[in-house]
Structure formats: C-alpha cells, structure tokens
Amino acid sequence: MTTTVATEQALTQRQLKARAGRRRLAGKLSAIIGTLPMMIVAIGVFVIGITFTVVLSFTNSKLFPSFNFVGWRQYEILWATPRWQQSVINIWFYGFGHIALCLGLGFALAVAIDQRIRGEDAFRTVFLYPFALSAVITGLVWQLMLDPNWGFQAFVRSLGYTDFTFAPLANSNTALLGMVVASVWNGVGVTMAILLSGLRGVDEEIWKAARIDGIPTWRTYISIVVPMMRGAVATALVLLVVNVVRTFDIVIAMTGGGPGISTQMPATYVIDNINSRNVGHGMAAATCMLLPIAVLIIVQAVYRWRASRRGRTT
C-alpha cells in the first residue's frame, strides 16, 4: 500500500519535471523567436555590414560592389588626397574644441546649478532646450548669427563701430571655430545634465569632511569630487567622441563643407564618394572612421575587465 503511493508520487514528480522541462523549452523557443529582429540586426547589419564595408575598401568598386581586389591602393590614394587629409585635420580640431568646451562649460554650469540656486529648473530648461533641436536647425540659426551682412557683425557696426569685423564662416581659417560655437550651443546642455547627476551622486558627507578639514571649495572639487564622479565624466566623454566622429548634419546645414574644403569632415567625404560612385574609395574612408571607435571600445573593454578582476581579488 505504502509502496504504491510512493511510486505514484515518484511518477507524478517525474511527470511534473518533464512538463516543466517542456515548458522551459517552449519559453526559450519563444524567446529566440521574439528576439529574432535583434539577432538579424546584430549579425545581418552590424557584423555582415561592417565586414562588407571593410572588404569593399580593398576593391575598386564603383557604383556596384565588385570583388576586384586592389590591396591597399584605396588607402594609399585616400591618404594622398588633400580633401581627406583636411577632413582628418578638421575633425581633430573640431573634436578637440567641441569636447573641451562641452566638458569645461558643462562642468562649470553643473557646478553653478549645484549651488542651491533659485530657479534651478528654469536654468536647466534653458540650457537643455537646444538639444531638442536638430543639428540642421542649429546650423541654420548660427549661420544667420554669424553672417557678416545680417548677423552679429552688422549689429556691432550699426552701433557705430563701422570697421568691426566678425565673419568666422566666411574665412577658411576660422570657419571651423564658428561650427564649434554652434555645436557647443547645441550639445553642452547634455554634458551639463550628465555631470550634474554625477555631482549629485557624490555623498554629502564628503563635503562636510572637506569643510571640517578646511579644504577650499575649488580644491575639493578638483581633488575629491571630480575623481569620485569619473563614471559620469567617462560617460559624457564617450558620448561626445561618438558624436564628433559622426558629425555630418551640421556641416551640411552650416557651411556645406566650405569655404573651399575648410569644414569638410570624414563623414561628408564618405557620403560624397558614395554619391559620386566611387564606393571602394568611400569604404576605405569609412573603415578609417571605424578606427577611433574601435580604440574606444577596446579601451573600455580593458578597463572593465581590469575593474572586474580587481573586484574579484579584493
């Protein structure tokens, strides 16, 4: 009697286990079906797409892909082309200016807003709204402001200073500076928001301790607070670098790449080469654009790996 009950129990348990196993399997199957779009994009677009671009950069593809391999030819031509050289110089100059100003001004604004000021929300709203506007709009508005005939120069001249000159976009030596001003106007609010959340994440006790020790406020910021919020700084920096490498819209809207080739960027170079049916060459330029991002990702991976290892040993 008791033995039959036991076997019956064992049986039902085994059946239950089998049913649970089937259900788990069905769930996993559904998960795979549900994430098919993700897998198609990950493999089909990112892996195969990037491979396709890199492979084509070694061919002499014109409008359609051809698999006529020419080795490093496209890269040799690329780096001997003045417009590409100028694009690379431009993106370093623009990138340095944009990132330095966004971080510097963004940090200053975040610190100022963090001082328990009146109307904090109003200030934050004003600093952030340009980010809601597209790069095309940013470019167009600042083009007007910097146009010597209508903009800032005309305004100062109308006040009586008739030989005042301020026309950065008209001069190939200063056009990039105008673009930096416009892009900082658009992007500094986000940097401020990220850094502000970093500042707010620093424990209040740190400030009390620093004050008791008589450390001046600026010193506390530089030596204690900034190192503590390096996560926020890193996030802002990565975001800025990625955006700089992509820079395209603002160039088209603000200067069209001119005067001459003074505001050309790698992104405009790639698109122009695809449009002018020189795909192999354009893909070589695109592959070069991938390099700084690849470096960034490797650095981050190493950093994370070291952090996780440190976490395990302690």
Partner 1 sequence: MSAISASAGIEPSGPRPKQVTAARVGIYAFLLIAALFFLIPLIVMIMTSMKSMNEIRGGNIFALPTQPTFDYWVKAWSSACTGVACTGLAPGFFNSVKITLLSVPISIVIAMINGYALSFWRFRGAELMFAILVFGAFVPFQVLVYPIIFGLSRVGLFGTLPGIVIVHTIFGMPILTLLFRNFFSSLPVELFKAARVDGAGFWRIFFSVMLPMSVPIAIVAVILQVTGIWNDFIFGLVFAGRENMPMTVQLNNIVRTSTGTVEYSTNMAATVLTGAVPLIVYFVSGKWFVRGIAAGAVKG
Instruction: Check binding of 253 to partner 1 (CB under 8 A).
Output: yes
Segment 17-46, which members bind partner 1 (CB under 8 A)? 23, 26-28, 30-32, 34-35, 37-39, 41-46
Binding segment (CB under 8 A) for partner 1, from list 5-13, 74-82, 170-178, 203-211:
203-211
CB atoms closer than 10 angstroms to residue 292: 16
Residues forming a β-bridge with 59: 69
CB closer to partner 1, 6 vs 211: 211
Restricted to residues 76-115, the positions that interact with partner 1 (CB under 8 A) are: 105, 108-109, 112-115
SS3 (DSSP) at 34: helix
147 binds partner 1 (CB under 8 A): yes
Residue 80 CB, shortest distance to partner 1, in Å, is 21
Binding residues among 150-189 for partner 1 as defined by CB under 8 A: 150-152, 154-155, 158, 185, 189
- The Cβ-side half-sphere exposure at 252, using a 13 Å CA radius, reads 14
- Of these, 234, 258, 259, 261, which contacts partner 1 (CB under 8 A)? 234
Rounded to whole angstroms, the Cα distance separating 36 from 13 reads 35
- In the complex with partner 1, the residue whose CB is nearer, 277 or 306, is 277
CA distance 289 to 284: 9
What separation in angstroms does the CA of 245 have from each of 4, 72, 109, 289? 73, 23, 25, 7
Query: Helices (H) and strands (E) in the chain — how many of each?
Result: 16, 0
Return the residue of 77, 140, 228, 261 that touches partner 1, per CB under 8 A.
Answer: 140
Residue 70 or 238 having the CB closest to partner 1: 238
Please give the size of the binding site for partner 1, defined by CB under 8 A. 109
Cβ contact 109:192 at 8 Å? yes
Structure tokens belonging to residue 221:
């910021």
Q: Which CB sits closer to partner 1, 6 or 43?
A: 43
